[in-house]
Structure 1
């Protein structure tokens, strides 16, 4: 189980969130059988999304961040509700690249490629808020910082890291997001920049200390601050047979009837946890009946399927 700290400086102009997500990313790696490079990519996105999920006000509020790049990983998605549960997936989990010769680091930008970052925020309104920006580097931290500046006009520093061990297990993972409010002074900004420069590698700090408190301490050195909240985060998928059944119902009677005629069954695999759900001919007959009833009530017309 990982955890997140949320804090603020005494002038309330610098907000900081820091997370340790080693266990969270390891569970994602295990479930999806991720490669070294996709572990790093999804792990970074899971960490950032979990942090943003902790900012929401209501338990049912959710954040979903997707990276649609042209790299070998394909689409990378992470989603988190304000309940401490985060989940995600990679279209091509086995995609992998050699360590970059230029800096000796995992080639996250290479596996992500060029494309867009999309954030969807559902806070219970009629329609979720959706924002999209172009990927600036594919390193994910830089891309999120660009999103905050372009979409929210909030200058931010985002540091994310995943350290993969020789057996592909996750040795350390976590990160931070710092955001400046409009009243931040030049002096405060200068202190923050000096502190950020001290962190050459997020994964090095996490591997050495395994502590979000230490991350905050380094980043906020020379400034008075307080921790507002500490909360646990866990990789957990909330899929169920009932939810999958409802999803099949929603596609409509015509499509369900085609399933019956062509396959006499339906097999559905959850993207987020790889759980498999099987519906036989009898199950589909019941689902078809339910879909017809919904269709009739919704449109007040006789069913023709």
Structure 2
């Protein structure tokens, strides 16, 4: 689900909800991620199609993070053969999100429906990788081939194939002609074992008839009311949280990275460049270390 309009409307606070419906027969997630995707757009200077692709991935990551507990976290990697290159998004159970795309200034012509051509930018060949840190000795890793490049269908395949969880995924990012993110959000509906056939058919009809996510958000619908379109009134919300952009980088972390380079590499930086500028891919922040700071780090490296 995607779009492009010339107008705009008042943006509401981002929200992510998690719940169940139909006596626990389905598990549901929905999110408004407009401010989150807008922050990603501003930090990386993404062009509209790149904004849509990164925003859809970030929205999926936020909802998948809501499936985690405690300090668990995950990384989504979308590696298609399109001009965007790789999309990488981190998320955790606290709805803290960060992400980037290799080539943010990619924008391709609209598709034959007049919509942003996310599939053309992502590519229709490649893989989606999901890495989950669940606090175990080894992280969980799941991968599926990209089947459409529109991403919602691709994440639907991931849940069915890698997690054996029949699911429906809807993702949308609406971008103004000036590149501003007007609306972003999505939903994930997961069918629990034993759901009666008539309820499954009802759900399939509701998903087919549902308007685009961004159209509903533009009309003032909330994440909870998005779910009512799918499941009716038999909905119980268990948790609500605001998804936010948050990066883990800091000057101290980059200092440690420089120290681990060792004396030889630090000497080269001091003698050849007289400084070092390090860049965080996730938040686009730059950290400049002058020669004196590098010499101080060299001294610390001597003692380690």
Report the TM-score when normalising by structure 1: 0.90
Which whole-Å CA distance do the structure 2 matches of 1:150 and 1:49 have between them? 17
> Corresponding residue for 2:223?
212
1:57 Cα deviation (Å)? Answer: 0.8
> Corresponding residue for 2:7?
none
List alignment gaps of at least 5 residues for structure 1. 295-305
1:100 Cα deviation (Å)? Answer: 0.6
Q: Does 1:8 align with 2:20?
A: yes
Residues 17 and 224 in structure 2, CA contact (< 8 A), matched pair in contact too:
yes
Residues 158 and 176 in structure 1, CA contact (< 8 A), matched pair in contact too:
yes
1:292 Cα deviation (Å)? Answer: 4.3
> Corresponding residue for 1:184?
195
Q: Of 24, 29, 41, which residue of structure 1 is paired with 2:41?
A: 29
1:108-143, Cα deviation, whole Å (9 max, x unpaired): 011001211111111222332222221111111111
> Corresponding residue for 2:9?
none
Q: Of 42, 50, 63, which residue of structure 2 is paired with 1:51?
A: 63
Q: How many residues align?
A: 291
> Corresponding residue for 1:150?
161
> Corresponding residue for 1:236?
246
1:39 Cα deviation (Å)? Answer: 0.7
Q: Of 253, 272, 286, which residue of structure 1 is paired with 2:282?
A: 272
1:10 Cα deviation (Å)? Answer: 4.0
Greater shift, 235-244 or 13-22, is seen at: 235-244
Indicate the RMSD between aligned Cα atoms, in angstroms. 1.6
Report the secondary structure of 1:55's partner residue. coil
1:256 Cα deviation (Å)? Answer: 2.9
Residues 9 and 226 in structure 1, CA contact (< 8 A), matched pair in contact too:
yes
1:283 Cα deviation (Å)? Answer: 1.8
1:60-95, Cα deviation, whole Å (9 max, x unpaired): 321110111121111111111222211111111110
1:244-303, Cα deviation, whole Å (9 max, x unpaired): 112223344443333233323210111122111011222222323333444xxxxxxxxx
List alignment gaps of at least 5 residues for structure 2. 1-12
